[in-house]
Structure formats: structure tokens, C-alpha cells
Structure 1
């Protein structure tokens, strides 16, 4: 009960940058959850009376080339972009943390060989590697989550490994080993809780990066398949319309993408700044 009562005070003490970021993300999440009630149109529902019409009553952000409501597609697209990003980063954190724990704790040839394998993956440009994996696996939602999560995992593995290596020589770790704790207990009871702090800072930043990666894959046709409501796919479909002066089909999804990524970056940067001050 005391922890719950202290929660408002802890939130107020957060840096203003984090509070602004959390406010943005809360609004985006609210729009995603209540999307069906915030607009009278479905994300793939066509209005046969209005094609490529600008903002007007009933279609507050206009319609696209298929007569679909842009606002509805943006709100429903928030579900896809947030869902894929959070799920992908969760996979990356889990996989990277396990690999980093094993490499850092085992040391020796296991660590050496494992890090060289990670070097091989990180030698490729990130987006090129994502394109290759997405092209091989296909562009279903599950495959996109796995692709982005897989690409994100090596940096987490390196970070956790470095933390574990620095913790190996601490007194409490040596005491735990002397007490006869098993390897599993050493990894998950003593090392992991003390190595997770940097993850809390980097994960929000990577959520923003994951959304950009999903949008980029969709923009080139390897992301969410048409007619799915996804911001990158909407920007790609509306890019040709800008030439004809129909700017709303690509501009509004771009603004939604920018604001959401900004929210994640503000949270991550604010937490990082707070960590540096401490």
C-alpha cells in the first residue's frame, strides 16, 4: 500500500523530459485502444463518395486514393506500430539478456566465440539485414516482430555481457559463489537484477527505433501488407499523391510517426540523463 501511495511522488520527481514523453505515449496508447470509438469509420472501410478528398466534416483528416478515412487508419495504425514495436523490443531484450548473461558468466572460449558471432551480425548495415530477414521470412505480423526483435538483440547482449563482466569481481558475487549457489541461481538471482538498469534506459529508445524500422520496411513493401493500416505503408501509398497537391494522405501519418518516436526518445533520453546525474 505504501508503495502505491508513494507512486505519485515518484512520478513528479521524474525529469520533465520523461513526463512529456510519457504524456505523449499515453495519448497515443489511448488513441490506439479507443480507435473504434474515436472515428465513425473502419480502417479499411471505403467511402465511395469521396476519393482523395481533403479534411472535411466526417473525414477530419481527409480520405486516401481508396476512399478510406485517413484519421481512422492513423488511429488503428497506432495499434499495429505500438504493438509490433513493444513486442519486438520485448523479444530483443529477452534474447539479448539471456545471451549476454551466458557469455559474460561463462567467459573463456564461449564468450570469445559468441562475441565473434555477434560481430558478424553487427557488421551488416542494420536496415539491409532487416530487409534480408524480412524478405526471407515474409511480411506477416509475427515475422515482422521476429525480424525486428532479432535485429535488436545483439546490442542488448553486448550491454548485459559488459555489466556481468563488471559484476563478476564484486564481493556479493564472490560470496554467493562461495555459498555454493548453482549457476542458474547466480545468473538469475544475483547477476541479472543488478545488470538490468541500463536496459531500462535503452529499451524506450529502441521502441522508437523499432517503429521507424517497421515503417521503413512497410514503405518499401516488406512490412505490413496492404490494406493494413500502418503508418509507413500509408506514407508510401500517399507519397505519389503529394505531387498532385494531396498532401494529407502522407503528411498526417508522418506526423503521427514523428510524435510517437519523439515520445519514446524523450523517455529514454530523460532516463539516461537522470542516470548520469546520479
Structure 2
């Protein structure tokens, strides 16, 4: 139960949650962005559904994630599966918006018109030409999604709505260590906070090296 051991053990809790959230949020966001972007200019129910989904995504981004997290945890309990599912749905909105914006831009390019005149179907056009170009901004933004998800996990743990004790988790450790700092035991909160900051900075640097600078 010492601070160092729990800080190291928390990597096995926080990192998998953040990584799975990043993967699922990016996959869902790219898929929805492609569907919405390619369907908005169509006619009939398909276009109405795409525009309605775009407005729903805007609404999701306007609601604080912590508030939604408290509601979800109260309904389904605090566990890794619940946190990953909740954050994947919430954070996919930003990835969807990035992908949709890029799809709308790419659809006006000359090579898309040339492929359509060559007789390619909409599915082939989307998978072969639109997807490789439109997915790149969302991949660049994956480092931001990782940072938000791990900070949100810690934030829920800090206010007591995260992983239940005695699970080692940085947010919960910082919350419990804050009272220790008042009596001089500053290390109880300082080391998990440093581990959290170091993890976010390291992953962001690695993602920037692979994908380039993320978009905000």
C-alpha cells in the first residue's frame, strides 16, 4: 500500500483504459464521419439522418464529459468496461467532426470527380479515395483523445466516481493524498500527479512523432 508501489501499479489500470478509449473513439469517429460526410449531400431520408446525426454530435460536444460520466457511473457502476464505453462514445464526437470536415473538403477535389466519372461505386469511392485522406486528421488527434481520456479517468477518480478502492488509480490517489499534503506528506499526491503528467506528455510526444502535430 505504499505510494510508490501504487503509483506504478496504477499504470496497469489507467493506461489500458486510455488506450482502449482512444482506439474505439477513433474508429467510431472515423466511421461516423465518413457516413455523415458522404450522405449529407444526398436526397431523402439518408440525408436527413446524416444531418440529424451531425446535430447530435454537436450537442454531445456541448455537454461536459464529467457530468455525463457521473450519470453513467451512477447507472452502471464504476468499472473499466463502463469507463471505456462511456468515454469512447463521448470522445468520438470530436473525431467524427474532424473526419466529416475533411470528407466535405475531399469530395470537392478533382480526383474524386475523375474516379466517379470512371464508374467507381460510392462504396469503392469512399474506401479507396476518401477514407485514406479523411482519416488522417483523426489519427493526428488521437494523442489529444488519449490525454483527455486519461485525465477524465483521473478526474472521476478524484471526485470519488472512478474506480472503487483499493484499486490503484492516479485520480483517487491524488484525492486521498491532498489531505495528507496539509500535514506535510506531500508525496502522497505529488508522485501520482507526476506520473499522470509524464504519461500524457510522453504519449503526446510519441504520437506527434508518428502522425505529426494534432489538430484542436
User: TM-score, normalization: structure 1?
Assistant: 0.69
Of 25, 29, 32, which residue of structure 2 is paired with 1:96?
29
Task: State the 1:158 CA deviation.
Answer: 0.7
For residue 76 of structure 1, what is the aligned residue in structure 2? 9
1:112 aligns with 2:51: yes
Task: State the 1:111 CA deviation.
Answer: 3.0
In 1, the alpha carbon distance for the partners of 2:123 and 2:73 equals 34
Q: Which has the higher helix share?
A: 2
What is the 5 A alignment of 1:113-192? 113-192=52-131
In 2, the alpha carbon distance for the partners of 1:152 and 1:225 equals 23
Of 167, 185, 196, which residue of structure 2 is paired with 1:246?
185
Please say if residues 14 and 150 of structure 2, whose CA atoms lie closer than 8 Å, have aligned partners that are also in contact.
yes
Q: Secondary structure of the equivalent of 1:227?
A: coil
1:272 aligns with 2:213: yes
Please say if residues 130 and 151 of structure 1, whose CA atoms lie closer than 8 Å, have aligned partners that are also in contact.
no
In 1, the alpha carbon distance for the partners of 2:129 and 2:205 equals 31
For residue 147 of structure 2, what is the aligned residue in structure 1? 208
In 2, the alpha carbon distance for the partners of 1:178 and 1:131 equals 51
Task: State the 1:240 CA deviation.
Answer: 1.8
For residue 235 of structure 1, what is the aligned residue in structure 2? 174
RMSD: 1.9
What is the 5 A alignment of 1:49-88? 68-88=1-21
Unpaired segments ≥5 residues, structure 1: 1-67
The total of aligned residue pairs comes to 207
For residue 26 of structure 1, what is the aligned residue in structure 2? none
1:197 aligns with 2:197: no
Task: State the 1:122 CA deviation.
Answer: 1.8
In 2, the alpha carbon distance for the partners of 1:221 and 1:192 equals 41
Please say if residues 205 and 268 of structure 1, whose CA atoms lie closer than 8 Å, have aligned partners that are also in contact.
no
Task: State the 1:203 CA deviation.
Answer: 0.6
For residue 43 of structure 1, what is the aligned residue in structure 2? none
Q: Computing the radius of gyration over CA atoms, which structure comes out larger, 1 or 2?
A: 1
Of 223, 230, 243, which residue of structure 1 is paired with 2:162?
223
In 1, the alpha carbon distance for the partners of 2:138 and 2:180 equals 41
Please say if residues 30 and 138 of structure 2, whose CA atoms lie closer than 8 Å, have aligned partners that are also in contact.
no
User: TM-score, normalization: structure 2?
Assistant: 0.88
